[in-house]
Amino acid sequence: MLGFITAIAARADHVLLGTATPIQTTPEYLWDLVRVLHQGKGNFVLVNDFARWHKPGEVLPILSGTQEVTDLANAWELLRSPLPPVNSTADNPVRQLYSAIRQDLGLSARHSEAGRLADLDIGTRQDFELELERRMAYAPFFQHENPFVRHVVLRKRTTLEEAGLLKRVGVDVHPDVNRVKDVHGFNALFEGLNLQTLGALINVDLPWNPTKLEQRIGRIKRFGQVRDSVDMLNLVNEQTVDEKVYERLSERMRDKFNLFGSLPDTIKDDWIEDIETLDEKMDQYIDAQKRATGFDLRYNAHLSPSDKDWRNCSNILSQRDFGTLMREGWEK
């Protein structure tokens, strides 16, 4: 499927890709999606194949904000390929920097790659250094200025719920076991299937990855779920480390709409050496996670519910009308 989409994208003039790919569990999947957008004339999304943005292992820490880029030469290699358009950001100081770079190097808006750092005016280089030191909501420069943020809109269910675009669905983490009638499913069931007609999830196995548990509950806690809350029952062996860890996690999950939104992707080994300090270590993690990501900074400010609720739409296109619209160009 990925190969087919990539081939089609290479022949298309415009590509708009909508997907529910679980990039929060496997961040490398994001590169598969962006490489689809990268196809076609110009390859302007990531530019040449030697650009550092092609290497997930190298730039993931930069995208997440865990690694800051302070060296000017290193930063220039990240910025020059691909060179952002001036209007690619709403941050005025950054827009001025991008404009100055293009003026210094004699580059038009159509150019997507720059040359040497030494060819920049000394004032432009100083402005670039200032931007590397500046923070936007605690986020360093390349966390909010990178090709992924420019070409990917990331929407989380909790964000849409807070904006009033989706109904909140609660999660009862400790349902009455007597209410559960049947048990169906296996691990593969929770990858890519929509099970919004169900109302309960039983976890017989509990991986050391709360994000994977979030993916599981997301199969039933999704659009089309008519219940106000769904049930999740976690089964663990008594008097084990698993029981103690998930007892702590369950206290934090109770009565929360965002089940794992502020919890770590994995429970680290050194966190459970002293189970009594697990709460403190998770608090430290959650405080750090409260800082906005580059996707949040760029797109969440523009979220607002429409006057018309698209979920109540009663007019449905016929197959003929759909075919006619798809054959029309973007502009008349």
Left (φ > 0), alpha (ψ -120 to 50) or beta: where does 184 sit?
beta
Identify which of 46, 19, 20 has the alpha carbon closest to the alpha carbon of residue 34: 46
Q: Is the peptide bond before 82 cis (omega within 30 degrees of 0)?
A: yes
Residue pointed to by tokens 């990925």: 2
Residue 200 forms beta bridges with which residues? 231
**Amino acid making up residue 250:** S
Alpha helices in the chain, H assignment, sequence order? 2-11, 29-37, 56-64, 72-80, 92-105, 122-133, 141-144, 147-151, 157-162, 210-218, 241-253, 278-289, 294-299, 319-327
How do the pLDDT tens digits run along the chain, 332 residues long? 888 988 988 888 888 888 876 676 678 888 988 888 888 777 888 888 888 999 988 998 888 888 899 999 999 999 999 999 999 888 889 999 999 999 999 999 889 999 999 999 999 999 999 999 998 877 889 988 999 988 888 877 777 777 777 777 766 665 555 555 555 555 545 555 667 777 777 777 766 566 666 677 777 777 677 778 887 777 777 777 777 777 766 655 543 333 334 455 455 555 556 666 766 776 666 565 556 677 777 776 666 666 665 555 556 667 777 778 777 766 55
- 270 to each of 266, 273, 277, 281, 287, how far by Cα in Å? 11, 5, 10, 10, 19
Residue in the block written with tokens 């210094």: 104
DSSP per-residue string spanning 281-327: HHHHHHHHHTSPPHHHHHHGGG----SS-GGG------HHHHHHHHH
Task: Give me the pLDDT at residue 74, please.
Answer: 95
CA separation for the pair 239, 302 (Å, rounded): 49
Residues in the chain: 332
- Contact between 219 and 193 (Cβ < 8 Å): yes
Query: Residue 115: its pLDDT value, please?
Result: 93
How distant, in Å, are the alpha carbons of 188, 201, 241, 255 from that of 180?
21, 9, 26, 19
- Whether 65 and 95 have beta carbons less than 8 Å apart is answered as no
How far is the CA of 182 from the CAs of 53, 177, 179, 233, 321, in angstroms? 47, 11, 9, 13, 43
**CB atoms near residue 51 (< 10 Å):** 18
CA atoms within 13 A on the CB side of 75: 20
CA geometry: angle at 252 spanning 250 and 258, to 5°? 105
Burial of 248 (0-12, 13-18, 19+ CB in 10 A): middle
